[in-house]
Chains A and B, each alone.
Chain A
Amino acid sequence: MRKNILMSAWIALALLLAVGIFMQQESGAGTEPSATASGKSESTSCVYPKEFMKSHHMQVLDEWRHDSVREGDRIHVTPDGREFEKSLNTCLDCHSRNKMFCFMCHQYANVKPTCWNCHLSPMEVTK
């Protein structure tokens, strides 16, 4: 009996490890420095590298929401020293120039974010 349990644990561990390896290598690849990062706070480049944002923006936004609403920590500092307010508006300041910026991809990938449950979406802002 004990042997059985040991064996099951061993297998679970092996599988976890196998996946763990992939995960580590994967995230390493994701944080490659991006060529577009610039040193100005009025910069035209994003808070994180573009490649990273493509896959992680929802988590960045979630983190920001948590930090600003729960912790009162409202300032995001990039590795190169630029400061941004942790707010969806920070994103929209740049990205709402194209009203469809969010929607193009979300629609294409059939993803339904919950942002617009509370926030006004760029589609709803009449200019």
Chain B
Amino acid sequence: MKKVLSPLFIVAVLALIPYVGVEYAGLDYLFGVVIPYMAAGVLVLGVAYRLVDWLRRPVPYTITSTCGQEKSLDWIRQDRIESPSKRWHAVVRVLSEVLFFRSLFRNNKAELRKGPDLVYGSHKWLWLAGLVFHWSLLVIVLRHARFFYYALPWPIGIIEGVDRFLDVTVPALYITDITVLLGVSYLVFRRLQDAKMRILSLQTDYFPLFLIIGIVLAGISMRYVTKVDVMPVKSLAMGLTEFSLEPPERIGALFYVHLFLVCSLAIYFPFSKLMHMGAIFISPTRIMLNNSREKQHKNPWNTPIRFRTYTEYEEEFRDKMKKAGIPVEKE
């Protein structure tokens, strides 16, 4: 189980670095200003580079995965989402992948029973946990906008209001704090519990999960348990948005653990599978239209080839063709 323990160990070490750095070495400036700028730079430039790097490679053929009826005869109902023939069909298709994990919703589980007999059962747990996890993360990230704005933009105000509407605990409990933990726990759990997942998971699959768990726990702890004075946090965040180089006021070390883990995630992001966030928007099997017989698609490198022409063919078989009464070009 080295592949589980070693990423866990790495995350623990990553969490200890800022703790020691701030508590014992007074490196507030490094962890509060230098590293966040660096991480943001790596994230933005890295993601941009990866996206450009993907996009400049051509998609030579229309390889749409058709998961529904093609557009053919007028009286046959086309599945416009799963077999898109117009731009907006594909837009809906991709957005439904991005927002609702449409393909994952199809997921089922195959079981090999005695007989032998293969049976398939509905299996939507991954879909549900994945959806809960990703949406929670998104809401949590958006909620953090309150640290970066003087006046909170109203949509974020609404999101925050909804997130805390249960109004239990002081300060009010965010629903997403619970759901993100539930989601991420299931994602870790299934990798350990299912034999297939155990063999196919790599360290790079556990690492971001543990990292996110670390970030979430540090954040939850700061809000509900150990508490932190948010005023210097806010002024640090505001400073960062204004590209200020002012040293931060004194904030608890746990905050730096939280921040440093976030920075680690940001730096790790462009070089890892986390780039699936960008990839899902440009996956050729999903974004392309199933109109490859209707419209001419261009392959930018369409290498010319020499094929065996009819003339060459007739040259070899002319006598046999004539004998068999097959018409030929040259008698």
Contacts and interface: CB of A to CB of B under 8 A. Distances in A.
Contacts of A19: 214, 217-218, 221
B252 interface: yes
Interface in B172-216: 172, 185, 188-189, 192-193, 198, 210, 213-214
Given A22-B257, A58-B170, A114-B167, A109 B234 contact: yes
Contacts of B23: 25
Interface stretch (A26-34, A69-77, A93-101, A119-127): A26-34
B227 interface: yes
Interface in B229-285: 229-231, 234, 252-254, 257
A110 B171 CA distance: 13
Contacts, number: 90
B193 A23 contact: no
Contacts of B218: 19, 22
A105 to B, nearest CB: 6
B146 interface: yes
B24 to A, nearest CB: 11
B254 A22 contact: yes
Given A4-B193, A7-B192, A105 B214 contact: no
A55 interface: yes
B7 to A, nearest CB: 10
B51 interface: no
B193 A30 contact: no
A105 B254 contact: no
Given A7-B192, A55-B227, A59-B170, A14 B254 contact: no
A23 B225 CA distance: 8
Contact of A26 (B167, B193, B253): B253
A14 B193 contact: no
A116 B193 CA distance: 49
A18 interface: yes
A1 B227 CA distance: 39
A27 B15 contact: no
Given A11-B4, A23-B221, A56-B227, A110 B170 contact: no
Contacts of A35: none
Interface of A: 1, 4-5, 7-8, 11-12, 14-16, 18-19, 22-23, 25-27, 29-30, 51, 54-56, 58-59, 61-62, 105, 108-111, 114
17 contacts: A4-B198, A5-B193, A7-B4, A7-B192, A11-B8, A15-B213, A18-B12, A18-B214, A19-B214, A19-B217, A22-B254, A25-B253, A27-B226, A29-B253, A55-B228, A108-B234, A109-B146
Interface of B: 1, 4, 8, 12, 15, 19, 23, 146-147, 149-152, 167, 170-172, 185, 188-189, 192-193, 198, 210, 213-214, 217-218, 221, 225-231, 234, 252-254, 257
